[in-house]
């Protein structure tokens, strides 16, 4: 009798193991992009595909349109959300708005946001009290990374930062950068801009003519500005002002210097948190995913034209893009 009981136990245990493995393999994940694919969401999806070969991934690009994002969760994915285990959203504004509206849908899974807004980080910190199923990754680097890398090399005294008025994370950005810059004797000048591609160039040029003593421009992590990188670079080049980009795309479009977050690593780290949770780790034990160091990226062709003397001063491991 004991022998048959033991066999029955083994059979039940094996069935449970197979069922659990199948459930993990057949995860359903939604990805709502903001400005098209990035190295972060690509790495996130690839790591999960490698771990769970039977995973189903639904991916849509909102094309920097909040209405489109809301339409996706309220209409296009209306019947899919209830079966989704995870929902990955890119961008601060995108993640904030989707998070607000998820309660009006059938989604019962875990929301993963990638954005730098304090609204998102506060939501992450409050999970033990609210019970919200939420993971967060941040593309921003430590506040002093920009000035530690370029402050002395460029002898920065006054730095101008184009400011998209509709991005909530910009307020946080200026507060943090200004605090660090002040400690180093550097003045930060916000260049307020409306997200209008037709007038962006004139807005920037007008601000730079008023603030003629700006040494350097810094292009922040902002989807609208990123999509108009070529235009921004034309402005800075025309006025003879050196620019630093916060994303690889800026440098690909002609920004001479850059310091960006390691997007592939962020995506892999967020995917690992999903894997850990699937293996029984507590949601509230998962910290905000950040990069502590940035990647120095330069466009050597543009840099040779604008400031060739800097080439020998930059780190030898700087990544080159053309």
Report the Cα 264 to chain-centroid distance in Å. Answer: 10
The whole-chain average pLDDT of the chain stands at 89
pLDDT over threshold 80, residue 15: no
- Of 4-8, 33-37, 81-85, 314-318, where does mean pLDDT reach its minimum? 4-8
Structural domains of the chain ordered from first start: 2-139+263-285 (3.40.50.2300), 145-260+295-320 (3.40.50.2300)
Q: For 85-104, what is each residue's pLDDT tens digit?
A: 999 999 999 999 999 999 99
Q: What is the mean pLDDT of residues 4-10?
A: 44
The runs of H, that is alpha helices, within 228-283 are: 229-238, 248-252, 263-278
CA dist 60 to 144, 153, 222, Å? Answer: 35, 42, 20
Distance CA 96, CA 291 (A): 21
- CB contact at 8 A, 159 and 178: no
């Amino acid at each position: 009798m004991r022998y048959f009981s033991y066999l029955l136990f083994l059979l039940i245990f094996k069935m449970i193991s197979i069922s659990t493995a199948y459930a993990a393999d057949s995860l359903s994940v939604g990805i709502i992009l903001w400005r098209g694919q990035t190295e972060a969401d690509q790495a996130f999806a690839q790591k999960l595909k490698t771990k769970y070969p039977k995973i189903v991934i639904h991916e849509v690009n909102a094309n920097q349109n909040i209405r489109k994002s809301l339409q996706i969760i309220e209409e296009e994915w209306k019947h899919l959300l209830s079966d989704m285990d995870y929902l990955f959203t890119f961008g601060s504004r995108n993640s904030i708005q989707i998070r607000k509206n998820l309660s009006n849908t059938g989604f019962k899974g875990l929301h993963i946001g990638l954005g730098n807004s304090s609204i998102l980080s506060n939501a992450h910190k409050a999970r033990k009290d609210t019970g919200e199923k939420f993971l967060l990754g941040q593309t921003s680097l430590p506040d002093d990374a920009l000035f530690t890398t370029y402050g002395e090399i460029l002898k920065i005294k006054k730095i101008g930062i184009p400011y998209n008025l509709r991005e909530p994370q910009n307020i946080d950005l200026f507060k943090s950068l200004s605090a660090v810059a002040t400690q180093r004797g550097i003045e930060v000048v916000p260049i307020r801009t409306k997200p209008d591609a037709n007038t962006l160039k004139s807005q920037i040029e007008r601000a730079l003519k008023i603030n003629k003593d700006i040494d350097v421009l810094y292009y922040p992590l902002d989807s609208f500005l990123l999509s108009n990188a070529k235009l921004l670079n034309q402005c800075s080049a025309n006025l003879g002002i050196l620019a630093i980009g916060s994303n690889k795309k800026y440098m690909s479009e002609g920004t001479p210097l850059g310091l960006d977050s390691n997007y592939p690593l962020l995506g892999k780290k967020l995917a690992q948190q999903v894997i850990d949770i699937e293996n029984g780790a507590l949601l509230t034990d998962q910290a905000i995913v950040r990069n502590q160091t940035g990647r120095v990226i330069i466009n050597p062709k543009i840099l040779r034209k604008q400031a060739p003397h800097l080439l020998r001063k930059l780190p030898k491991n700087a990544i080159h893009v053309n």
